[in-house]
């Protein structure tokens, strides 16, 4: 079906496009929200910047069209051929061990040892480290060639040149193998290439390296096969996601996705790809909020860019839904679709699950310490035994019909051996709806930390301002005033939907302004007292006739600092008395029975 026909039908209200053939069609920038492309063939289709909110692609087949597969197959043959040539060249150099003069033999041994060293580094630390070590060795030979006094001039030039060729092709072998495996072309092509080239040019190959004995040629072929196998292994390892060669995999997948289905910058919010085949699909910069990837095929061979699917653990969880006892510490799961996922005993400490959906998810005994869960949907989720220490939720977090008997507020026990179980009584459990009520109450509170105690006059004016701007807030809104060392933690209940950040800014704007005003008043008072004391000193000096050498004791009492500390030192929670009717009269507004100056 042509793209124009699909768009025309969509405009007329049709949404059912199941099992249609859309290979190579372009829907760039189009709005196809709510359409159903289940079981459709979308290989090579272009959905760049399209709006696909709630669109279904269940069991759809994405990826490359046949002509692109053919092109990549051809590229694979060419790369395989180069790999075979490189392997034979390297093998030929090593076979110089059996050469007819000492110079060739020495160089053959040097080449063999160098290959062993380089590949050992590659296998242990990755191709990047191997290339670095190979470059270092090649540089050493190049330097040697510049100093004929250290080596025979002819030998140095030949060895530096030949070794540079070996190192270049060693890199080419690994790169070619990685790309070959990424394209899913049969590994036999690489092996076949080496043998085909060796069979096609036996005389030229042997003549170039001076190989005359069967054992020499056999060794060269053996080395070539070993190098091809090692290169193929590196390609396979990179494709499996080994972090040592992650850059190879990234480049290979990017190349393989060229010409494939593209969702680049598309809005896939709430889209459903259940069971879809997504190899060679471009998902870079796409909006993947609550997008369903359950049971997708070859999603690991799609191009994720910097989306949450770039993380192997997150991608596997999105596909399988099984996170039992797995670690997702500090993981980016923002907007992930984990509906019905098994996260029993999973570690989600510091994870960002904001805007994600965890409907009906099993979070029993999971660790959610300091997890970000703003806007997360936990409807019908299971929370019994979960640790919720310092997790971050707000009024947009959905906790409807959560199944929970008890939770813990501490990940590790405190000095009393308690993990702060809720309910406190170990013989009690939450009744249906209790968990939601408890955390909805917590959600609708603001905690304000007042450093170094409470300045009562400043607090009075700040709270008056809050009451004047928020009629729903009264004296009863103060839920708790707790002493935290030298600080005071104030807990206020606020209406649902209150902008807590704005609320806190409003409070501190008045409170801190009043503190600054009190400080300036105190400084002026201190200056007045100082000036008065100075005048008394001068007057006493001029009027004293009792002694030619009078001793004058002057005490300069700076009361301002103590006044400030008195304002912030004492308050009486028991005598709290706030009258909302006096909110517009600051002179009659009484928050604490205090002796503040």
Examine the fold and report which residue of 252, 268, 290 is the final residue of a domain before the chain moves on. Answer: 252
Q: Is residue 539 part of a domain?
A: yes
Q: Over the range 563-590, which residues count as b (16 or more CB within 10 Å of their CB) and which as e?
A: bbebbbbebeeeeeebebeebeeeeebe
In sequence order, what DSSP letters do the residues of 205-238 get, joined into one string? HHHHHT--SHHHHHHHHHHHHHHHHHHHHHHHHH
- Neighbouring CB atoms inside 10 A of 65's CB total 17
Phi, psi of 98 (to 5 degrees): -95, 20
Would you state the pLDDT for residue 97?
Answer: 64
Give Cα separations from 218 to 98, 119, 165, 189, 201 (angstroms).
12, 21, 21, 21, 14
Examine the fold and report which residue of 214, 237, 252 is the final residue of a domain before the chain moves on. Answer: 252
Q: Is residue 396 part of a domain?
A: no
Spatial CA neighbour of 357 closest among 391, 320, 396, 325 = 396
Q: Is residue 15 part of a domain?
A: no
Please compute Rg for the chain using Cα positions.
38
Q: Is residue 577 part of a domain?
A: yes
Taking the C-alpha atoms of residue 51 and residue 31, their distance in angstroms, rounded to an integer, is 5
| Terminal C-alpha separation, the chain | 83
Give Cα separations from 47 to 24, 136, 263, 267, 590 (angstroms).
10, 46, 5, 10, 64
- Look-up: residue for tokens 């990234």? 250
Angle in degrees, CA 317, 318, 320, rounded to 5 = 60
Phi, psi of 156 (to 5 degrees): -65, -45
Q: Is residue 194 part of a domain?
A: yes
Spatial CA neighbour of 54 closest among 263, 266, 272 = 272
- Neighbouring CB atoms inside 10 A of 356's CB total 26
Q: Is residue 140 part of a domain?
A: yes
Cross-sheet strand order for the sheet of 445-450:
445-450, 487-493, 478-484
The pair of structure tokens assigned to 435 is 């968990």
Residue 43, classed as helix, strand or coil, is coil
Q: Is residue 329 part of a domain?
A: no
Q: Is residue 48 part of a domain?
A: no
pLDDT tens digits in sequence order for the chain, 597 residues long:
899 999 999 999 999 999 999 999 999 999 999 999 999 999 999 999 999 999 999 999 998 877 666 666 666 666 666 666 666 666 666 666 666 667 666 766 776 677 677 667 666 665 555 455 555 555 554 444 444 434 443 444 344 434 444 444 444 444 434 443 444 443 444 444 444 444 444 444 444 555 555 655 666 667 667 766 766 666 666 666 666 666 666 666 777 777 889 999 999 999 999 999 998 899 999 999 999 999 999 998 899 999 999 999 999 999 999 999 999 999 999 999 999 999 999 999 999 999 999 999 999 999 999 999 999 999 999 999 999 998 888 888 999 999 999 999 999 998 888 999 999 999 999 999 899 888 877 777 787 888 887 888 888 888 888 888 888 888 888 887 877 778 888 888 888 777 777 888 888 888 888 888 877 776 666 666 655 654 564 455 545 544 444 333 333 333 333 333 333 333 444 444 444 444 444 333 333 433 333
Spatial CA neighbour of 376 closest among 398, 404, 401, 344 = 398
Residue 78, classed as helix, strand or coil, is helix
Contact 124, 243 (CB under 8 A): no
Which structural domain, as residue segments, surrounds residue 457? Answer: 445-543+553-582
Torsion of the alpha carbons at 347, 351, 354 and 357, rounded to the nearest 10: -30
Taking the C-alpha atoms of residue 352 and residue 343, their distance in angstroms, rounded to an integer, is 15
Would you state the pLDDT for residue 77?
Answer: 63
Cut 0.75: pTM above it? no
Examine the fold and report which residue of 252, 268, 285 is the final residue of a domain before the chain moves on. Answer: 252
Would you state the pLDDT for residue 478?
Answer: 84
Domain count, the chain: 2
């Amino acid at each position: 079906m042509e793209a124009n026909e699909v768009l025309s039908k969509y405009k007329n209200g049709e949404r059912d496009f199941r099992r249609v053939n859309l290979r190579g069609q372009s829907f760039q920038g189009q709005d196809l929200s709510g359409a159903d492309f289940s079981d459709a063939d979308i290989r090579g289709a272009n959905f760049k910047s399209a709006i696909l909110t709630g669109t279904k692609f269940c069991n759809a087949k994405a990826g490359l069209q046949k002509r692109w597969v053919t092109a990549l197959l051809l590229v694979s043959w060419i790369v395989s051929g180069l790999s075979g040539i490189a392997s034979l060249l390297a093998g030929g150099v090593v076979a110089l061990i059996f050469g007819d003069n000492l110079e060739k033999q020495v160089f053959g041994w040097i080449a063999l040892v160098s290959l062993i060293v380089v590949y050992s580094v590659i296998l242990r630390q990755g191709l990047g480290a191997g290339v670095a070590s190979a470059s270092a060795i090649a540089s050493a030979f190049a330097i040697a060639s510049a100093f004929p006094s250290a080596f025979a001039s002819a030998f140095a030039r030949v060895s530096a040149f030949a070794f540079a060729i070996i190192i270049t092709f060693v890199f080419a072998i690994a790169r070619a193998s990685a790309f070959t495996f990424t394209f899913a072309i049969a590994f036999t092509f690489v092996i076949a290439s080496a043998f085909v080239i060796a069979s096609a040019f036996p005389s030229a190959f042997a003549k170039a390296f001076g190989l005359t004995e069967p054992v020499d040629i056999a060794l060269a072929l053996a080395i070539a096969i070993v190098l091809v196998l090692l290169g193929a292994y590196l390609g396979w390892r990179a494709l499996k996601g080994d972090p040592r060669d992650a850059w190879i995999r990234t480049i290979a997948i990017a190349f393989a996705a060229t010409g494939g289905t593209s969702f680049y910058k598309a809005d896939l919010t709430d889209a459903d790809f259940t069971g879809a085949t997504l190899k060679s699909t471009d998902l870079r910069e796409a909006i993947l909020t609550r997008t369903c990837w359950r049971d997708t095929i070859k999603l690991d061979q799609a191009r994720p860019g910097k989306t949450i699917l770039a993380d192997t653990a997150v991608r596997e969880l999105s596909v399988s839904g099984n996170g039992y006892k797995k670690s997702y510490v500090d993981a980016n799961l923002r907007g992930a679709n984990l509906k019905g996922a098994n996260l029993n005993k999973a570690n989600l400490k510091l994870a960002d699950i904001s805007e994600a959906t965890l409907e009906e998810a099993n979070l029993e005994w999971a660790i959610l310490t300091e997890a970000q869960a703003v806007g997360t949907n936990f409807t019908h989720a299971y929370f019994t035994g979960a640790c919720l220490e310092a997790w971050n939720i707000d009024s947009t977090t959905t906790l409807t019909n959560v199944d929970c008997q008890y939770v813990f507020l501490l990940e590790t026990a405190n000095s009393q051996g308690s993990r702060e179980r809720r309910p406190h009584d170990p013989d009690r459990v939450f009744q249906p709806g209790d968990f939601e009520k408890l955390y909805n109450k917590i959600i609708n509170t603001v905690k304000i930390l007042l450093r170094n105690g409470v300045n009562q006059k400043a607090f009075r004016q700040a709270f008056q301002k809050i009451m004047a701007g928020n009629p729903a807030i009264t004296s009863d809104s103060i839920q708790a005033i707790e002493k935290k060392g030298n600080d005071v933690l104030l807990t206020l209940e606020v209406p649902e939907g209150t902008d807590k950040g704005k609320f806190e800014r409003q409070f501190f704007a008045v409170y801190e302004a009043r503190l600054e005003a009190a400080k300036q008043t105190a400084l002026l008072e201190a200056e007045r007292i100082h000036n008065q004391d100075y005048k008394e000193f001068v007057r006493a000096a001029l009027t004293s006739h009792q002694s030619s050498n009078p001793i004058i004791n002057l005490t300069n009492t700076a009361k301002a600092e103590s006044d400030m500390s008195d304002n912030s030192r004492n308050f009486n929670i028991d005598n709290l008395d706030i009258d909302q009717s006096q909110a517009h009269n600051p002179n009659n507004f009484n928050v604490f029975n205090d002796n503040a100056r």
